[in-house]
Every structure is written in structure tokens, then in C-alpha cells.
Structure 1
Amino acid sequence: MEPLPERRSIRYAGYDYSRAGYYALTICTRNKEHLFGSLFPDERLRLSRLGQVVVAQLEDLPHYYPTVRLDTWMLMPNHLHFILVLTRNGAVAVSQIVGSFKSRCYGQWRATLLAGGQPAPPSCWQRNYYERIIRNSTELEAQRRYILENPSRWNTL
């Protein structure tokens, strides 16, 4: 049996992702399915049950991690954009936050499905996530604008 090929990391080599700062993150649903809800022409997302779970868990991140703040965020039908702020060096890593966030969301959603007699898929998330280290106030403003304008771009796709 051949060994599995090593997964290539999409993280910035040598960077400490537990370093205080701003991080723009995007997390996608498995197979880009529209699991979080439906976006209407008025650019408002009507949340599914999973979408409600994701919003609640996102807003609760500072409860789980007191050295973390949320800046700007936007939930779309098949992905989540948000700016995560780590306020203290070395307290927690971005990967730890994202991993536990995805796990809590899926676990809560799965329990709801099973309690309602519905089958639960093996996951609701894409395997990885995308991140950008925000280095200055110009990049921060650009990321905030990108996130907030995401619904208007969605309707033009």
C-alpha cells in the first residue's frame, strides 16, 4: 500500500499564527453546498438551521477565547468571511480557534439532524480554510470592505 501524499500547507511558512494581530479568514462548506441559507435579492441571508448555529458559535468565540475579538464578518450561503483579532501573543493559535469552531458547529448541527430523525453527513465543512495576515490599516480597511460588499458581488456572479 502506497503512503498518502503529504498535504501541502497553505499557511505562510515560518509565521507564528498565535501572534497577536488581525487575520482575515474564509471557511467554506463541504463541496461549496449552500448549507447556511439562501441569499435574497435584497442581499439578506435567510439562515438555515446550520446558518443559525454558525452565527451563534461565531459570536460566542470571545467566550471560549477571552484573548480573541471579532471584527467584521459576513455569512454567505456557502462560506463565512471574518476578521479575527488575537489580542495577546501566544495565547491561542488561529488553527486551534478555527478547528474548535468548526467542530462545535458541526456537532451541534449533527445532533439537531439526528434528533429530528434525519441522517447527518460526515461533515459540513471544507477540509481547510483560507487566511490572510493583515499587516496594516490599509489592508484592514480593504478586508473589511471586501467582507461587507460580499453580498452585492454574490448577486452578480
Structure 2
Amino acid sequence: MTGHTRRSSPRLPGYDYRQQNYYFVTICTKNHVCRFGAIRNDIICLSDAGAIVTEIWSSLPSVEPDLHLDVWIVMPNHVHGIIVLHDTDEPRAHDLSTIVGRFKATSARAINHRLGREGETVWHRSFYDHIIRNDADLSRIREYVANNPARWETDQFYQ
């Protein structure tokens, strides 16, 4: 016995995250460090790292052609976004975890390269997801994302 416990997956058991749907994701920085900017007058003012995250997030549809980005925002220590996976005639090669994992790896490499900090961990090891089930859920989450900067000071990870 190695003394290590196996971490359970935060994904919904038995659900195929390759299928067409709307997914709300939240991706946090390691230790909730505010790397991506600051909120001033309810507006995010991006740092260099935040600009890199914005650039790489917005390029996801060019890497995954059957993916669409709905509303999203880069906050000081996390990213909220709705990823839409469209129906496709071919079996989808990548599931949501793979897509988010590639985003995290690509953005971390770019941030570390730009800031001269090779190998530094940028992101928390996992991410939060919510499968959007109906139009009311979608509207509520869109509003939540849009209002996130205005609620920053009440955020549990506000620093």
C-alpha cells in the first residue's frame, strides 16, 4: 500500500461528455492566486497572463471545429464559460475534460513562457462543470457570468 488515496472524479458518473450539449465550466488557478488581473469599477482589467488566457480560450473553436463558445469571462483567479458541443456526423474525438485539459496546458505553457517561469503550476488540478439542462438553466448561468465582476468582492475566493 502506497498511502495514497484515489481521488474520485468530479464528473457525472456514466455521462458521456462527448455528446452534444451546453456545459458550464469554472476553471480556477492553483491556490486561487489572482494571476489574471483585477476588478476595477466592476470591470476586469487583465494582466498579461489574463490576456493570454483570453486569447487561448477564444481560439478553442478553431482547434475544436464542433465547439462553440457561448458567454465566458476571465476573472482574477478563475475562468467561467459555457462550452457548446454541437452534434457531429463523426464520433467526437475529444470529451469536455480533454478540451479543458488542453486549454489549461496550452495557456499555462504560454503564461510561463511569457513570464519566464517555466514549469510553474498555473491551474488547479481539476475543474467544475455543470451540464445545462434547459433554457431557464442557460439563462440563469448567462446572467451569473455577466454579473460576475460586479459580485467579485463577495466571491468566496476574493483576495
Does the pair score TM above 0.5?
yes
Paired with 1:70 and 1:52, the residues of 2 have a C-alpha distance of 17
SS at match of 1:155: helix
Equivalent runs, 1:12-31 vs 2, <5 Å: 12-31=12-31
1:101 match: 103
**Partner AA of 1:136 in structure 2:** N
Q: Which amino acid aligns with 2:83?
A: L
Instruction: Give the aligned partner of residue 74 of structure 1.
Output: 73
Match of residue 65 from structure 1: 64
The whole-number CA distance in structure 2 between the counterparts of 1:16 and 1:107 is 29
Cα distance in 2 for partners of 1:113, 1:153 equals 29
Distance in 2 (alpha carbons) for counterparts of 1:78 and 1:112: 18
1:24 is paired with a residue whose SS is strand
Match of 1:126 among 105, 124, 127: 124
| Equivalent-residue separation in structure 2 for 1:139 and 1:20 (angstroms) | 16
TM-score relative to the length of structure 1: 0.91
Q: 1:89-120: CA deviations, max 9, x gaps? A: 54131011100000110111111122xxxx44
TM-score, normalising length from structure 2?
0.90
Find out whether 1:10 has 2:10 as its counterpart: yes
> Which whole-Å CA distance do the structure 2 matches of 1:110 and 1:154 have between them?
26
C-alpha spacing 1:126/1:69, structure 2 compared with 1 (3 Å): same
Partner of 2:49: 50
* 2-structure distance, mates of 1:4, 1:65: 35
Over the aligned positions, Cα root-mean-square deviation in angstroms equals: 1.4
Whether 1:153 and 2:144 are equivalent positions in the alignment is no
| Structure 1 residue 88: Cα displacement | 2.3
**1:44 and 1:34, CA in 2 relative to 1: closer, same or farther beyond 3 A?**
same
How many matched pairs?
Answer: 152
Runs of 4+ in 1 over 2 A off after TM superposition: 119-122
Task: State the one-letter code of the partner of 2:65.
Answer: P
**Deviation, structure 1 residue 19:** 0.6
State the percentage of identical aligned residues: 38
